[in-house]
Amino acid sequence: MHFIQLCAFALRPLAWITTCLALQTTLGAHAQSTEPAPEPPTTWAAGLGWWRYSEPVMKLEGPQLTLRAQHTSQQAGWPKLLEADIGVGSLRYSSHGSGSLSQVPLVRGQASALWDIEPSGQWRAGLQLEATWTDLRGTTSTGHSGYERFNSKAWAVLQYEPPSTSRTELGLLLRGRQQSYLSQANPTLPDITNAQKRGVFLAYRHSPLAGPSGGGYGLRPWIRYTSVSNSDQVGVEGWYEPRNRTLQIGLESSW
């Protein structure tokens, strides 16, 4: 046998072994890359939504931009879930009695601390703080003057989050405070602070929407509905904050 042919014949098993090892390494790397990555402890989401607040004689509504941060902790004794949410918007005020006003600034925020209450980790309970500021200063279409409003609430929250990662929340109002700076509209009027004692909210955040190939786009629709009853009455004239409803809907993208 020719010397070159002999060398090629002798090296052929080594070539097969090298090829098999390379193929095994490639397949192993592919298998590792297809395994789902663990969810990071902190995630962010930004989105666009619609905010609508209504009382018996007036309403405020308009678009808002939202930003949300969520942190999951594994440390014993600490909240399992910490979450903060802020929104900024431009609203339109309308009332049969006092006309309308556009470009009303809105700034709102909420923060939650929730603990697991059963072994599977699907049920959590905790506390949520919420604050909303609207600036109605200006002159309406009928010549009425407006004023700033600041509202803060504390909620007891029960949350359910199954493995599908959709999320449902129910909140019971612990205490609310409405501050209305009436003196900005009329110097002869007092600034009023009312206490709110009865209210509930229901919120739902859908699991991430899947694309045609089955992959997630990270887009999540969400909705939150809040109902608060009449506040207490203050002052000799019995100033109070009437019952009100707030509806928020939106779509967010997470990373």
First to last CA, the chain: 65
In the chain, pLDDT over 90 holds for what percent of residues?
A: 72
In the predicted structure, residue 9 carries a pLDDT above the cut 50 = no
| Average pLDDT rounded to a whole number, residues 145-152 | 97
pLDDT in tens, 63-97: 999 999 999 988 888 899 999 999 999 999 999 99
Residue 206, burial from CB neighbour count under 10 angstroms (0-12, 13-18, 19+): middle
- What local confidence, expressed as pLDDT, does residue 208 receive? 82
So what's the pLDDT on residue 216? 53
Model pTM?
0.81
Please report the pLDDT score of residue 4 as a whole number: 40
Of 40, 42, 51, the closest CA to residue 222 belongs to 51
Nearest CA to 153 among 171, 129, 127?
129
Distance separating alpha carbons of residues 194 and 229, to the nearest angstrom? 12
Residue 72: C-alpha distances to residues 45, 165, 194 (Å): 15, 13, 36
> Which residue shows structure tokens 């590792």?
32
- Chain CA centroid to CA 139, Å: 33
Q: Give Cα separations from 48 to 66, 74, 82, 130 (angstroms).
A: 6, 31, 22, 19
Average pLDDT, the chain: 86
More reliable by pLDDT, 208 or 14: 208
Number of neighbours of residue 121 by Cβ within 10 angstroms: 13
pLDDT given at position 210: 64
Output 153 or 24, whichever has higher pLDDT.
Answer: 153
Give the whole-angstrom CA distance, residue 32 versus residue 25.
11
Picking from 25-34, 41-50, 130-139, which range would have the lowest pLDDT averaged per residue? Answer: 25-34
Residue 190 CA to residue 183 CA, distance in Å, equals: 6
pLDDT, one tens digit per residue, over 239-248 is 999 999 999 9
Q: In percent, how much of the chain has pLDDT > 70?
A: 81
pLDDT at 40: 67
Which fold, 39-254?
Lipocalin (2.40.128)
Confidence at residue 162, expressed as pLDDT on a 0 to 100 scale:
92
